[in-house]
Homo-oligomer: A and B are copies of this chain.
C-alpha cells in the first residue's frame, strides 16, 4: 500500500495516521496547543528544515486541522481549527505514555 492510500482504509486508525502519522506533524500540532502560531516560531522550536515545515503546514491546512490567517502582507498565523482541537486526547495519551514509559534520563555527566 502506498502511504497515500491510507486515507481510505477501512481502519479508522489508519485513516488517522494518514493525517498525523508523520514524524513532525504531531509536534507541530503540539506546538499549536502551546500557543505557537508562526513559521519562525515553529522553526526554532522544532529545528525542522523550512522545506519540510512549509510542506507540513500546508498539508495540515489542506486537511482542515490548521487555519492560515494573514496577519500582515505575506505573513501568517497558523492556528488550530475546531477539528484540530479535537486531537487533544491523542496528544494527551502520547504525553502520558511518554511520561510513564520513556522517562527522561538525566545525564550521568
Residue in A23, A46, A48 with the greatest tally of chain B CB atoms within 10 Å? A23
Q: Are A94 and B23 in contact (CB under 8 A)?
A: no
Select from chain B the residue with minimum beta-carbon distance to A10: B104
Contact A97:B89 (CB < 8 A) given known A13-B26, A30-B11, A48-B1 = yes
Across the interface, which residues of B come within 8 angstroms of A105, CB to CB? 8
Residue in A1, A21, A48, A83 with the greatest tally of chain B CB atoms within 10 Å? A21
Q: Are B15 and A104 in contact (CB under 8 A)?
A: yes
Which A residues have a C-beta under 8 Å from some C-beta of B? 1, 3, 7-8, 10-19, 21-23, 26-27, 30, 46-48, 83, 86-87, 89-102, 104-105
